[in-house]
Each structure stands twice: as structure tokens, then as C-alpha cells.
Structure 1
Amino acid sequence: MDSSAARDRDAEGRARNARPRDGLGRPLPYGAEGVARQPEGVTRRPDETVREAQRLLAAGMPFHAHEVFEDAWKSGPAQEEPLWRGLAQLAVGLTHAARGNAKGAASLLERGTGSLARYAAREGVPTYGMDLDGLAGWARALAGRLPGPVDAATDAPRLTH
């Protein structure tokens, strides 16, 4: 095995974590059966992003949903970056909550809610059918239940109205 493969690097030397992961994104031992990773760098229309992220959230895979939101924030218009970043932060907050990391969850849920609030405060910004106020309420309620048991699928938010 060459040194770039041993370090999970691609041919250009960029980090590419090849370890399998579980549904909450936790690394598993090499060779273990993991959950299929989301492909990186996929450009989707906003409605496709929302639909794919909702599918992953409903399946109890918020870590993977965060990757879908991250693609949108990196490939979309700059003015929408706070929307997609905030949604990614909420998904990672749910990930941490389901993993039992209450402090990390609360921090990310708060940051994500703040990002969405700043985005929604701007005049005429698109929300693509998402209920940003409802998502903020969901995040506050989830944070208020911590520490406590969280099931990533059962406790996942509904993105759209």
C-alpha cells in the first residue's frame, strides 16, 4: 500500500477519510461494514438538496444530511451560504445529540439557529419551502431536552411546511 493510501489521501494529497462509518458518522474499524458515504462535491438544485437531506434525516442519518447541506453551501450562491451552513449545523447538532454529546449538540444547535435567524432576517431571501422558524423551535426544544436520550430518526426535524 502506498503512503497516500495509508494516510487516506487522494492522488493530489487531499485528505479523504476512507474509514467506514456508521449511520451517525462515527468511524468504524477498517474492513467493517459501514453505511454508504455521501459523495462529496455534488451540485444539486435547492429542492433536490432539501429532499435528499430530509430523506437522510428521516433515516436517522443526520451526519450524512449535513454533508448534503455542506455541498449546497459550498456550491450555491454566496448569499445563501448562511441558510445551508445553518442547516448543516443543525444536522450536526442532532448527530452529537444522538451520540450523547450534549454540550457539542447544544452548541451546534445554537449556532445553526443563529445562522438561520440572520438569514431569515434579510428581505426576500428564498427558503425553498422550509419552515425556518419551525426549525429554530425544533432546535431549541431538542437542546432543552439535553442531556437525554435522542433517537436520530425519531427526533429528526421536518424541513418543509
Structure 2
Amino acid sequence: MGSESSGRRVGARDRDDAGRARNARPRDGLGRPLPYGADGVERQPEGVVRTPAQTVAEAQELLDAGKPFHAHEVFEDAWKSGPEEERALWRGLAQLAVGLTHAARGNVMGGARLLRRGAGAVEEWASAGERQRPYGMDLAGLVVWARELAGVVEAGGEAVDAGARAPRLRGA
């Protein structure tokens, strides 16, 4: 685990090197803030423009490593920087990653709700044409995964292992 070093505290707010407000507290693998000075997981840089293939590959690595919060940040970059017609897809994928994050933190209600919301968004985007496997992703499989996991989370009522429950973006 690396130490969080980007950003600085100025007055009551953390700022990045450009002076923008940014929480500089280190985070754990599920994105929970840790005390200042604690060792944390290296944060994903914000605002990175990646190709869709790079986004999918990097997000899958993070998901496999049990870091869905960090995968969400990768999807969020694609959502904010990608073409308008794809934003709903990337936002839905980000919601799936945040849903897994909450489920892994033990937030049963929030996890299930976000998994279902993300599944609905991905399903709606895919149904708007011949878009079942954009960038090699298995959207139908992701929708099934998210809805099944939402049910498991609600039935079990406790945290899940994010790495063990990570989805396969490109299918099995």
C-alpha cells in the first residue's frame, strides 16, 4: 500500500496542486477515508482520458483486485470525457462499481439499490440499438450479475468480498 501524497491541506480544505478542492485523505481499498498520515491505497488520478479499451482493461484489473471504488473512478473518467452518446453506458458501469463498493462495505440497502440502478442503466443503454457488446463487454451478463448480487446482498445482510464477487466485464 502506498501513502497518499497528492494534495495538501490549506485552511479547512484540501487542495490539489492546481488549487482545486480535493480530499487528500488516504483511502483504503474500498475507498473509505483513512486518517491523515495513514498508509492507504494509491488513488486513481482524476480526469484521465483513456481509450474505451484502456478503460475496460484498467477497470477490470481494479475489480479483480477487490477495488471497485477505484474502478468506479475509471468509469467516471470515461463518462465525463467520452462521447455524449456513451455517457449513460459509462455512468451505469460506474454505478455497478459503486454498488459493489457499498455491498463490500456492508451497506446492504445502498449496495443493492445501486447494483439495480446500474443494471437498469446498462440494460437501457444496450437496448437502444445493436449495442450488446460494446468494446467486447458482455452487457447482458453484467445486468444478470448485478441483479443476482443485489439479491444475494439483501438475503445475506452482510458485506461481500469485492474481489470474489467482481464481475467479468467481457464475460466468462
TM-score (structure 1 length as normaliser):
0.93
**What is the CA–CA distance in structure 2 between the aligned matches of 1:71 and 1:135, rounded to whole Å?**
20
Identity of paired residues, percent? 68
- Contact kept, 8 Å, 2:108 with 2:159, in 1: the verdict is no
Q: Which residue of 2 aligns with 1:142?
A: 149
- Contact kept, 8 Å, 1:10 with 1:16, in 2: the verdict is yes
Instruction: Kindly state the Cα deviation for residue 110 of structure 1 after the two structures are TM-superposed.
Output: 1.1
Instruction: Kindly state the Cα deviation for residue 10 of structure 1 after the two structures are TM-superposed.
Output: 3.6
Q: Does 1:129 align with 2:136?
A: yes
SS of 1:145's partner is: helix
**What is the CA–CA distance in structure 1 between the aligned matches of 2:68 and 2:17, rounded to whole Å?**
29
- Contact kept, 8 Å, 1:4 with 1:10, in 2: the verdict is no
TM-score (structure 2 length as normaliser):
0.88
SS of 2:25's partner is: coil
| Paired residue type of 1:23 | G
Q: Which runs of 5+ in 1 are unaligned?
A: none
**What is the CA–CA distance in structure 2 between the aligned matches of 1:52 and 1:3, rounded to whole Å?**
29
SS of 2:135's partner is: coil
| Paired residue type of 1:76 | G
Instruction: Kindly state the Cα deviation for residue 122 of structure 1 after the two structures are TM-superposed.
Output: 1.2
**What is the CA–CA distance in structure 1 between the aligned matches of 2:159 and 2:72, rounded to whole Å?**
21
Q: Does 1:24 align with 2:30?
A: yes
- Contact kept, 8 Å, 2:105 with 2:159, in 1: the verdict is no
Q: Which runs of 5+ in 2 are unaligned?
A: 1-7
Instruction: Kindly state the Cα deviation for residue 117 of structure 1 after the two structures are TM-superposed.
Output: 1.1
Instruction: Kindly state the Cα deviation for residue 59 of structure 1 after the two structures are TM-superposed.
Output: 0.3
Number of equivalenced pairs:
160
**What is the CA–CA distance in structure 1 between the aligned matches of 2:9 and 2:32, rounded to whole Å?**
24
Q: Which residue of 1 aligns with 2:115?
A: 109
- Contact kept, 8 Å, 2:107 with 2:159, in 1: the verdict is no
Moved more, 125-134 or 62-71: 125-134
- Contact kept, 8 Å, 1:4 with 1:11, in 2: the verdict is no
Matches within 5 A, 1:1-161: 4=10, 6-10=12-16, 14-125=20-131, 127-146=134-153, 147-161=157-171
- Greater than 6 Å deviation, 4+ residue runs: none
